[in-house]
Structure 1
Amino acid sequence: MQEIMNAYENAVQNTKYKIKEDIAVYMEQLKDIPALADYLKDRSHYIEPLWLNVWLNKVTAAVPKKVKKEYLQERGFVTEGVDRKLINRLFRNEMRSYKPFAAVDWFLEEMHEQPEKWAEIYELAKTRLKEREEAQKLENARMELFGSITCLTAGLLQDHERLLFLKTRHAVAKKLVEDMRTKQRFKQIDTFMLEEKLQELGAFKPVDYYRVSDFLKELTGSIHKSSHHGRRFYEYETYYFPYEHLVSVTVLKNASKLISENLPEGIESEYFRFDGDADKDEFLSLFIADQAEELAISIMGKIEEEYMSDLIELAPVPFDIETHQAIYEADLADREKKLAAEKAEAERKAAEEQKMLEDVFGREYKPTANKAVKYVLHIGETNTGKTHQALAAMKKAESGIYLAPLRLLALEVYDRLNGEGVPCSLKTGEEEKLEAGASHISCTVEMFHEKDAYEVAVIDEAQMIADRDRGFSWYTAITKANAKEVHIIGSKNIKQMLIQLLGSSEYELIEYKRDVPLKVEEQEFTLKKARKGDALVCFSRRQVLATAAILQSNGHKVSMIYGSMPPETRKKQMQLFLSGQTSLIVSTDAIGMGLNLPIRRIVFLENEKFDGTSRRRLTSQEVKQIAGRAGRKGIYDQGRVAFVSEIPKMKKLLEAEDKPVEVFAIAPTTSVFERFHKYSRSLGDFFELWEKYTSPEGTKKAELTEERSRYEIIEGTMIETKFPMMELYGYLHLPFSAREPELTEQWLQTMEAISEGRELPEPELKDRNLEEMELAYKSIGLHLLFLYKLARRTEAVYWERLREQVSDRIHEELKDVTKSHSKKCRICKKTLRNDFRYSVCDDCHSRQNKRRNHFRQNKRKPGKL
């Protein structure tokens, strides 16, 4: 295959060249000519692998994919349907043994045949070094002069900035008049991408444009290359770009002339002494290019704010500095009147905007509970049997729906009902398990649909209605539940809010109190005091794993629970504790959300948590929600609570009166989007309007942070043009972690595939460590979100099974976390005991102290005269 042979010849020549260059560099630093054997000894680490590196890089880059596949096929490889990366990897492996070139043997033979060449190379290397040193001296002198000239030109440009502005202003004015007279206007389009064909609207009319910036948004009809979030594409060009170029060229031209006329005599000839090949134009642009560019940016900003009428009148006036200066000052003085008119116009537009806000949002977020429904409110502390009673009512009904805050709880109720002989299906965004003959369903609250009717609905953890990002799902479920009887489960602080939401609807209030009292221990907790039945709570995954590693190294068998853990793994970890195979639990505050376990004592290993914005002390409600998991009726006669510090303060939080929930979260609805559709079809416009909307008293708007960030990625791209607005928002709203860049990239690639009608890209699954396995689990979960949204349930079954296998591997990995989370000295990296108190070992700490003491002693000694 000729391509491989050509690459081979090039690689041989390249290798020889690199060896000769290496010899020259080696010799440059030596006073005397070295022995050939010394060179080979010193540089063998470079020469020996050189051929293979040069050859593999050259042949991989130079040989086309088609030739690579043909070569591999001749050697028995199957290449059909194999991706490019794997083809390259296989081809490189095959090329390793292809005609090896003995670089060292060639070099020795070369020197043997021409022994005088070694001395010639040495002399040439020394000559080259001397020339380079002389060139460096010359360059240093040149740069010193360069700095002087740069300072001089900067001062000249600053002194004549107004002149350069007025000349550029005049050039732009004349160009505007010419374009208004000769160019065609095009219809504005939602996106500048080339899929939409431009339509001519006729000639421009100056009266249609108030400011220059208004005109610069118009399309020229030309096409140019652009980029967005690192992605390059072609789009229709606006007038901003040619006018930006005009301003840059005009400023540079006039600045060059200005500098040329004002430079001190002789400074050019002094520069040309260093660079005789440069011409005068290059000499000037070299010194003023950056400064002229900054000035052009400033002038462009000023011109954008100019009024079109001022520049149209200015265009025919011949340039004279005094005349144009007077015109500009008069225009500035006239702006006050125009600004007053603009203010009045802005107030009018604000009134129109307010009217639109009222039309789109005004009537959407007023509580309208169904008066034909009977509501049963189960209100009380954690671990008081609220959920049990509500589910008992649901099981007796002919049909029912359970709405959970977490996938894990939906899964738990699904298992529980089926285990008790009540056929129940499961539905979350990432999975569906449809049981034959089931008239009951367990799902996450986001899966609620008001058109689906049931005899009994159960809504769990209703206090989540206050959550800024997810709370509106609870609001919708509570106020629009389509059932004869709706059971709402919540903490004590949600009671008044629920009664307010239900209005005049019929409701029954059942309040629960703990049968098992809580007792706060008076002594501070340490890990040495950990006992069977304890649940140790901290507030990060890293701390959970580190604490579990310490406990495991001390002989304890530990279950772990944290938010990013797969629900299936979490369930298995709980089962280990329930069956007595583990004696302790280490958990984040995820343990406080509906997990009923036989916990003897809750231990707070931290009194603060990071809430996504800052680190803060736990709230009273958070302390109660977590501490309430201690004690189990029929197993423990009381629940115990322990803290590692500040016991009086934390006890006060535990015993404090609940602060009532006073606001609930609101988010965009289908109705809102339908009304907004009358005004705009751009999600960018919608997000801007949502930002301006002031939510009604007693509510707070969802931040839509993740939806906005994802929209910014696809804004203006083909993806945005391919989906109706509400459908696109549904994809932006998919629940996955924005903190994982890999998931965001997967989301983007999948969106591109859907928009282009291609097959969905499969998740990239790595499993070298716990972090990669957890990311793989999330990646499959995101893939399932898309599959279910696209109603591709058959494929989803395969991926659900694969995700279950990943979950099993995570569960196995958690059996011994001491290997991956052992504590090490941050200086010498020596392994420390997991319960070692400090981040450096004793030896390193001792050496640090010795150095400090030595420094202090020397500092005290008087200096020599």
Structure 2
Amino acid sequence: MNQLKITYRNAVESTKSKIIDDLSKFLGMKECIPSFEEYIKNRGNYVNQIWINVWLNKSTSISRIEKKMFLKNMGYETEHIDRKVLDHLFRTEMRTYMPFDAKEWLNGIWNTNNFNLELRYKEAREKFLQKKEEDRIQTALQNLQDELGEEIISLIEKNEDLLYLYVRHFVSFQFQKDLNTKQRYQLVDTFALEEKLNVLGRFEPDLYQTLSDFFDELTGDIRKTRNRKRTSFEYETYYYHYEDLVSDYLSDILPSIIIKQIPASYYNNEQSSLSKETVKALMEEIIIYECEYLANSFIQNLQHEFITDLLKLAKIPFDPEKHNEILLNDLSERERIRAEELAEVERKKEEEKRMIDDIFGQEYQPSVERNIRYVLHIGETNTGKTHRALEKMKAAQSGLYLAPLRLLALEVYDKLNEEGTLCSLKTGEEEKLIPEARHVSSTVEMFHEKDFYDCIVIDESQMITDKDRGFSWYKAITKANAAEVHIIGSQNAKEMILQLLGESNIELNEYHRDIPLEVEKREFKFSRVEKGDALICFSRKRVLETASRLENSGHSVSMIYGSMPPETRKKQVHRFIKGETSIIVATDAIGMGLNLPIRRVVFLENEKFDGEKRRVLTSQEVKQIAGRAGRKGIYNVGKVAFTSNINRMWNLLISEDKPIRTFAVAPTSIVFERFQNYYRDLEKFFELWEKFESPKGTKKAALLEERILYEKIRGTDIEAKFSINDLYSFLHLPFSKKEPDLIWQWEKTMYALIHNTELPEPQIKKRNLEELELTYKAIGLHLLFLYRLDRRTEAIYWERIREEISDQVHTRLKTDVKKLAKKCRSCGKQLHWDHKFQICDPCFERKYQKSYFKY
């Protein structure tokens, strides 16, 4: 308890000292010596409060151990007590602990012989009067300073034009000197101040139009700066150098100009009792203070000065009237030049606007006025729209089927040939030409408007809204060259297609499901999975994990996801159709063109990542996928189930779709032909495409992937040796541009083309499923080049290799899926199948939760 005793003694001494200080102030304020009773009457309450305040503050610093010992002796239970509670109890006890009677102590010393009241009063009174005089003088000084400040600022504003003439002449002379004596420097590494700057030689006046251009140059010195209370260093530019020079120059000339204009009354202010020297010093202090702000203002104006004007000015001796005349002439000439420059900018804008309109303007205005019969097949999924259109195409002398996916083009190719209608296949990655065939099945991107067919079928026309691929549907719909064109689409695409076709000859067929959809009222659980179920999720990883879970539970499973080879996907589908597998796990790829014997569609997720963010599925997406449930004669009721938010998803399923209002536009060969009337480089094309405002009801393709590839070869021999049309067609090749290995392969192949060397063969990797799928894509990219170069013999060889890879993918899916496990993406720890997230709880707490707590 020694600490408590020591603290108590210190508190007593501190209290005594504060009381004596208060007594001295009280004595000094009185014109005659007061009595003890008078002091106590006025200050008694304060004197008592001094002890409480001092003691409570000092006792707070006593250690926690001593506090516990004290409270324990007072009968408190102190084990496992909270710190705040402990401090509160201790502070409460201290309020009544050994109170110090300040009044009694003061009364005791007041009446002792050692307490000389008269002497104390005299000293206190002298200090009080001295302080009062100091305060008076300080107040007078502050008042004078405020008045002088206003007067000086007013005089500076009055003389600002003259001051600018002085500064302008000074800067012109300094600038000429710097041009003749200083060197230019180049910054090599922004983050390495210890590195020497590169010396570029002397300054050349022709390099700069205005002083602001020169201000960006480096002086060679290092400057200290403060940002958010942190000191840092950077290379100094002439902007800061000249700002300091102008500030110093103004400090030299401003006092002599301003002080002599200040009224004499400020020097003879009897109320302030200040000497003339003091007043003058105060004036100079205020003026110097204002110099920094004035310098900054002048620097802003000086930045717009033309270099040629300053160099002429430096040779002319300073005369206010002459220099003011020069300034006015320079300003007038500057305004004239600026006006001409602005007019030139506006002229170029107008010229560019006309050019953009000439290049792009007319290309995206639909003009369907040909003698073509259009047949629209509009309706829900799984209603026989495509079947009916294909029957019409088979009956025609020649026909073209345009599919959204290579898999669907392949299916129609197989279907027509099996049914006796000879049909060729044309996609970017393969061509299978059947002798004497007059029907073709292809992807929509392969459409050529000059090729005539008796019947053209355009499938999944609602994809006209797709920001990257939509223009292919727009082009096919508006430029199809046929006697009869069948357009298949969802209900929300009807208005847009009718608008595009205008006054054409149109037959509209609308389809409705014969098989009703029924939404299950309870949330889906894996324990209730049954034969004929299609489980839907939205990533390859989730498909494989779900398939593994089901396989390990004794179910046989087919799988479908976007990056799966079409041949493999076909085999997976056939296994399900034949009954070799009882369940299918798929992404939303199932929603496009696949008619399967599905009893129930189960949405394992209600959200998907659309390339930019995770979002809730749209009504059309829910309908497109859910519509795969049910098969006439097998399942006469299609069932739909969700794992969560059943009511919300049910509302999406039954709600009326908002009509499509916009469609995507993209560059065409005609656009590139018009562009080449003005420019010859793709960089400029991308710039103009960005500025081009597509017509109302349309949206531009972003061309992000094309730009990423272009950056790889911009300024290289590849860009120099290919025409703009050819180069863009190579940038536009349909391959996965998110795979670094494929981008590397594309780049190497492009160099092989310009150097006329052998094309690099795709890398064959087979160690796991991911490598097999990437190998399949690599061969696909190689085939894109081979078919573009018309090297069909090589293409046949690589198609055979790709088919073998597809078979291996199929085999791996059957054998490897069971080995898969759901793992934490951070530490790799195996997770339970029902774990909601892709990261384990310990990793989540370690990596994320800390950011939510502030200690």
Establish whether TM, by shorter chain, passes 0.5. Answer: yes
Shift of 1:841: 8.6
CA contact 1:403–1:442 (8 Å) conserved in 2: yes
Are residues 824 and 172 of structure 1, via their aligned partners in 2, closer, same or farther at CA, if it must alter by over 3 Å? same
| Equivalent in 235, 240, 248 of residue 292 of structure 1 | 235
Task: Report the counterpart of residue 307 of structure 2 in structure 1.
Answer: 311
Within a 5 Å distance, the mapping from 1:109-258 to structure 2 comes to 170=176, 211=209, 251-252=219-220, 255=221
Query: Aligned partners of 1:163 and 1:782: how far apart in 2?
Result: 68
CA distance in 2, matches of 1:796, 1:165: 73
Aligned residue in 1 for 2:487? 488
1:413-812 superposed matches below 5 A = 413-812=412-811
Identity %: 58
Letter in 1 for 2:392: A
- CA contact under 8 A between 1:370 and 1:479: conserved in structure 2? no
Q: Distance in 2 between matches of 1:211 and 1:778?
A: 54
**In 2, Cα distance between the equivalents of 1:708 and 1:666?**
16
Letter of the aligned partner of 1:629 in structure 2? R
What does residue 70 of structure 1 align with?
none
CA distance in 2, matches of 1:745, 1:709: 12
Native 8 Å contact 1:371 1:504 kept in 2: no
Q: 2:602·2:642 contact (CA, 8 Å) conserved in 1?
A: yes
Going from structure 1 to structure 2, the CA distance change for 1:660 and 1:464 (only over 3 Å counts) comes to same
- Rounded to whole Å, the distance in 2 between the matches of 1:776 and 1:370 is 46
Could you list the per-position Cα deviations for residues 1-50 of structure 1 after superposition, in whole angstroms to 9, with x for gaps in the alignment? Answer: xxxxxxxxxxxxxxxxxxxxxxxxxxxxxxxxxxxxxxxxxxxxxxxxxx
1:292 corresponds to which letter in structure 2?
Y
The residue that corresponds to 1:387 in the other structure is 386
User: Is the contact made by 2:209 and 2:307 (CA closer than 8 Å) also made in structure 1?
Assistant: no
Retained in 1: the 8 A contact 2:536–2:585? yes
What code does the residue aligned with 2:510 have?
E
Question: Any idea what SS the aligned residue of 1:507 has?
Answer: strand
Mark the CA change 1:549 to 1:475 in structure 2 (over 3 Å): closer, same or farther: same
TM-score, with structure 2 as normaliser: 0.63
Shift of 1:830: 5.7
What does the per-residue CA deviation read over 1:163-211, in whole Å, with 9 as the maximum and x for residues that have no partner? Answer: 99989964896799x9xxxxxxxxxxxxxxxxxxxxxxxxxx999x994
Instruction: Say which one has the larger Rg.
Output: 2
- Secondary structure at 2:821 match in 1: coil
Q: State the distance in 2 between where 1:790 and 1:384 align.
A: 41
For residues 604 and 720 of structure 1, what CA distance do their matches in structure 2 show? 47
Partners of 1:369 and 1:572 lie apart in 2 by: 41
Give unmatched runs, 5+ long, in structure 2: 1-167, 185-203, 225-231, 243-298
Distance 1:377 1:749, change over 3 A: same
In structure 1, what residue type is equivalent to 2:306?
A: D
Structure 1: which amino acid aligns with 2:737? A
The 2-side partners of 1:635 and 1:566 are apart by: 29
Does structure 1 retain, via aligned residues, the 8 Å contact 2:786–2:792? yes
Q: Structure 2 vs 1, CA of residues 839 and 400 (structure 1 numbering), >3 Å: closer, same or farther? A: closer
**Distance in 2 between residues matched to 1:724 and 1:291, nearest whole Å:** 46
Structure 1: stretches of 5+ with no match in the other structure: 1-161, 179-204, 217-242, 260-288, 853-858, 860-865
Q: How far apart are residue 213 of structure 1 and its match? A: 13
d(CA) in 1 for partners of 2:345 and 2:615?
A: 42
Whether the aligned pair in 1 keeps the contact of 2:551 and 2:818 (CA below 8 Å) is no
* 2:217–2:238 CA contact under 8 A, matched in 1: no
Structure 2 counterpart SS, 1:771: helix
C-alpha distance after superposition, 1:594-641 (max 9, x if no partner) = 111111000000111111111111110000000000001111111000
Letter aligned with residue 696 of structure 1: P
* 3-state DSSP of counterpart to 1:432: strand
Change beyond 3 A, Cα 1:310–1:569: same
3-state secondary structure, aligned to 2:509: strand
Question: How far does the alpha carbon of each residue in 1:245-273 deviate from its partner, in whole angstroms, 9 at most, with x for none?
Answer: x955xx22xx49x99xxxxxxxxxxxxxx
Tell me what 2:348 maps to. 349
How big is the shift at 1:292?
A: 3.3
Partners of 1:173 and 1:314 within 8 A in 2: no
Does the CA-based 8 Å contact 1:211-1:307 persist in structure 2?
Answer: no
CA offset digits 1:252-302 (Å, max 9, x no partner): 2xx49x99xxxxxxxxxxxxxxxxxxxxxxxxxxxxx98437779999xxx
Q: Distance in 2 between matches of 1:580 and 1:354?
A: 62
Work out whether residues 173 and 315 of structure 1, in 8 Å CA contact, stay in contact via their aligned partners in 2. Answer: no
Q: Distance in 2 between matches of 1:349 and 1:738?
A: 36
Distance 1:671 1:828 in 2: 54
Distance 1:820 1:362 in 2: 56
8 Å CA contact 1:211–1:308 kept in 2: the answer is no
Q: For 1:691 and 1:836, locate their aligned partners in 2 and report how far apart those are by CA, in whole Å.
A: 45
CA contact (8 A) 1:210 1:309 kept: no
The answer to whether the 8 Å contact 1:548/1:817 transfers is: no
Q: In structure 1, what residue type is equivalent to 2:492?
A: N
Q: The residue matched to 1:401 in structure 2 has which SS?
A: strand
Contact kept? 1:418, 1:424, Cα under 8 Å: yes
Rounded Cα–Cα distance in structure 2 between residues aligned with 1:814 and 1:519: 32
- 1:119 corresponds in structure 2 to none
SS at match of 2:601: strand
Q: What does residue 87 of structure 2 align with?
A: none
Residue 376 to residue 294, structure 1, CA distance change in 2 (3 Å): same
Pair 752,720 (structure 1): closer, same or farther in 2 beyond 3 Å? same
Rounded to whole Å, the distance in 2 between the matches of 1:298 and 1:799 is 67
Partner amino acid for 2:787?
Y
Partner of 1:89: none
**Cα offsets for 1:111-165 (capped at 9, x unmatched):** xxxxxxxxxxxxxxxxxxxxxxxxxxxxxxxxxxxxxxxxxxxxxxxxxxx9999
Amino acid at match of 2:531: K
Native 8 Å contact 2:549 2:818 kept in 1: no
Matched residue, 1:368: 367
1:551-589 CA distance string (max 9 Å, x none): 111111111111111111111110110111111111110
Post-superposition shift, 1:311? 3.0
The alignment's TM-score, normalised by the length of structure 1, stands at: 0.63
For residue 314 of structure 1, report the CA deviation from its aligned partner. Answer: 4.7
Structure 2 partner of 1:815: 814
Aligned partners of 2:557 and 2:788: how far apart in 1?
38
Tell me if the contact between 2:380 and 2:511 (Cα under 8 Å) persists in the aligned partners.
yes
State the alpha-carbon separation in 1 of the partners of residues 651 and 834 from structure 2. Answer: 30
Q: Distance in 2 between matches of 1:478 and 1:520?
A: 36
The 1-side partners of 2:405 and 2:765 are apart by 26
